[in-house]
Structure 1
Amino acid sequence: MRAPIRVMIVDDSAIVRQVASAAIAAQPDMEVIATAADPLFAMDKMRRQWPDVIVLDIEMPRMDGLTFLRKLMAERPTPVVICSSLVDRGARASVDALAAGALSLVSKPKVGVKQFLQDESDSLVAAVRAAAGARLRPRLQAAAPRPKLTLDSLPRGPSMAPTSDRTRVVAIGTSTGGTQALEAVLTALPEEVPGIVVVQHMPSGFTDMFARRLDGLSSIRVREAKHGDRVEAGLALIAPGGRHLQLTRDGRGYFVGVVDGPLINRHKPSVDVLFRSVARMAGSNALGIIMTGMGDDGALGLKEMHNAGAATIAEAEETCVVFGMPKEAIQRGAVDNVLPLHDIAASLVSWSRAPLRQA
């Protein structure tokens, strides 16, 4: 028998602590080791027993959740699930929490909290279980997988004929832990880099503010992609939550399509969808990068990029929050270089200045 996931709930609402505790305690693989009305009480209890996962509110007395989260990540990084009424579409607090190291967000309303948490307890439990896997410890046995659509379920479509245009493009895919990983890479790039297209698994409503935040931190421009945007040097386009991102091309250059469609690998946007389009449209003019994330989204698409002559990079296990997506890509033979996060930006720049390989 493996030890249950030890969970601490930090929320100033007694009702939230009660309902969330009941939902978690009902799981055979979880236990609530403590609850606290604010982070100061939490820190006192954590000195006696450290949790595997913390469920954390943002608005609390004495110390707010974001301050506590930043302190925690600086001193002893621990998986955190934010459960807050501030987790609204486009809410700045949500993006700040992800940037500070939170692994997932669960929204709760300002009224009717008890009924809402009872109805949505499965979402909270799933978030806690996923967060518990985001560290190098023995994993719990996964639940039986649900049927999913994969990239093979979509038509491949025709590839574009080779072009004399040697314009380069970079495609990046990431998931759990990817908000921090993307920040590390994009903020380290100079302005003179090829156009970048990005899929970060993120719910609808959050990507615009996330892109704006990165834009303010980076030398390159960063924005949420819109259908028909041109892929330009010094610009990173991030797929909007809830839509797939695809690379297209005509005589003028590269553009992006922002399209609806089914979940692929249980995600929309899907890294596989982006990478396949880059393989078809850019071939050996492209660089594919897959970073931290749970599951296998992007592995098959990166293999198609590799087969089309693109250069490919996977983030090394030592720096991944979750070594899932990179591991799958490596195992499929899709990766040229495995690099720690702090070396990826420099490798991107070196690739952009070196002669292109031939497909």
Structure 2
Amino acid sequence: MSIKVLVVDDSALIREVLTRMLMRDNDIDVVGTATDPIEAREKIKALNPDVVTLDIEMPNMNGLQFLDRLMRLRPTPVVMVSTLTTRGASETLLALELGAVDFVAKPSADFSGGIEAFGANLRDKIRAAAKSDVRGRSASRADAPKVAVKTAAAPVGSVIAIGASTGGVEAIRMVLSTMPVDCPPIVIAQHMPAGFTSRFAARLNELSIITVVEAEDRMPLLPGHAYVAPGDYHLRVERSLGQLKTRLGQEDPMSGHRPSVDVLFGSVAKTVGPLAVGAILTGMGRDGARGLKLMRDAGAYTVGQSQASSLVYGMPRVAFEEGAVVEQAPIEAVASRLAMALGRLKSAA
């Protein structure tokens, strides 16, 4: 069964490029295109696509308004096609909050920067979206408790490590928004291209009582702070002169990604060992499973997001099957499970 896709974009060129890229493999079929949300609404009813690609800037109705309406009335997996601008990044993150599964950055007008790589990335995101549970998520969105975790008092030198991919923007927001201001440093690897992670960190900072920043090289890790791996850079934790710091590098992608969750978790296992706690959240693929297993083997407490609460139960499933996960938890309970594990570390110290 091929994945049925509806392409929505006001540019005839982009519609043609997306259609051609998506039809490259036999498992994806573009069943229709639409130039604006009004036409898209009719085609969704008529064609019942598995996935919709959606441009934000369109005539007759902004793509975000259309997305909001679609997710409320007829939850459908949506992949946003975004412009690589500051405004585009902000609107893309808003689209993910409204329920879009994922996004791709629109290729530049002259298609420099690799149209083949863009196409392969787009097809992967469409496949992940087709497997995603948007109906389950839209049904449970209103139920997330807004109860802040009381305390994450932890021994000096402890670290929280979080990794995610598809669906991770919302999942990470839910974890960080309940984290207390006395939590230990948090390091985060979310699969996201360069140009979007600074806005992602800024958005998390607006929504949390802790301070969230895009990581820079050799930043000291401070309590009450979270550090997001910048797009196209690996993030590691290292110890320098007795202090934990961030390290950024552009070595080859690992598990197909840069930033890679495996790279981050592996460094935490090596540098922090049993004083770390880790969580692997929603996402497609297997990145993070090996690194989380290294963390668990080094004595860290590890949590995997539960299947029912994951938009895409890929990364947490592989980690669980490979014995990397101590316990699985719904996304709204992940912060409290991490805090409880840190509390146990504190009492044992």
Q: Please classify the TM superposition score into its range, dividing by the shorter chain length.
A: 0.7 to 0.9
2:30 aligned to 19, 29, 32, which one? 32
Cα distance in 2, alignment partners of residues 91 and 355 from structure 1: 39
Question: Where does the alignment leave 5 or more consecutive residues of structure 1 unmatched?
Answer: 138-164
**Contact 2:162 2:280 (8 Å CA) reproduced:** yes
Listed as ranges, the matches of 1:323-334 within 5 Å are: 323-334=313-324
What root-mean-square deviation, in Å, do the aligned CA atoms of Structure 1 and Structure 2 show?
Answer: 2.6
Amino acid at match of 1:338: Q
1:335 aligned to 283, 307, 325, which one? 325
Higher mean C-alpha displacement, 75-84 vs 38-47:
75-84
**Contact 2:101 2:132 (8 Å CA) reproduced:** no
The alignment status of 1:276 with 2:266, answered yes or no, reads yes
Listed as ranges, the matches of 1:192-231 within 5 Å are: 192-231=182-221
Q: Which has the larger radius of gyration?
A: 1
Sort the Cα spacing of 1:355 and 1:19 in 2 relative to 1 into closer, same or farther, 3 A: closer
Sort the Cα spacing of 1:328 and 1:95 in 2 relative to 1 into closer, same or farther, 3 A: same
Question: Where does the alignment leave 5 or more consecutive residues of structure 2 unmatched?
Answer: 136-154
Alignment match, 2:102? 103
TM-score (structure 2 length as normaliser): 0.85
Sort the Cα spacing of 1:25 and 1:325 in 2 relative to 1 into closer, same or farther, 3 A: closer
2:5 aligned to 4, 7, 20, which one? 7
Alignment match, 2:84? 87
- Cα deviation, 1:13-39, whole Å, max 9, x if unaligned, reads 234334433443454222222222211
**Contact 1:193 1:352 (8 Å CA) reproduced:** no
Alignment match, 1:232? 222
**Contact 1:19 1:118 (8 Å CA) reproduced:** no
Sort the Cα spacing of 1:73 and 1:246 in 2 relative to 1 into closer, same or farther, 3 A: same
**Contact 2:128 2:312 (8 Å CA) reproduced:** no
Sort the Cα spacing of 1:172 and 1:63 in 2 relative to 1 into closer, same or farther, 3 A: same
1:173 aligned to 139, 163, 168, which one? 163
Amino acid at match of 1:271: V
Amino acid at match of 2:229: A
Listed as ranges, the matches of 1:119-198 within 5 Å are: 121-135=119-133, 166-198=156-188
Structure 1 runs (4+) greater than 4 angstroms displaced? 116-123, 356-359
Alignment length, in residue pairs? Answer: 326
Cα distance in 2, alignment partners of residues 70 and 345 from structure 1: 27
- Identity of matched residues, %: 40
Query: 3-state DSSP class of the match of 2:265?
Result: helix
Per-residue deviation at 1:45? 2.4
Alignment match, 1:45? 43
1:21 aligned to 15, 19, 22, which one? 19
Per-residue deviation at 1:130? 3.5
Amino acid at match of 2:193: P
Cα distance in 1, alignment partners of residues 159 and 123 from structure 2: 39
Cα distance in 2, alignment partners of residues 290 and 250 from structure 1: 26
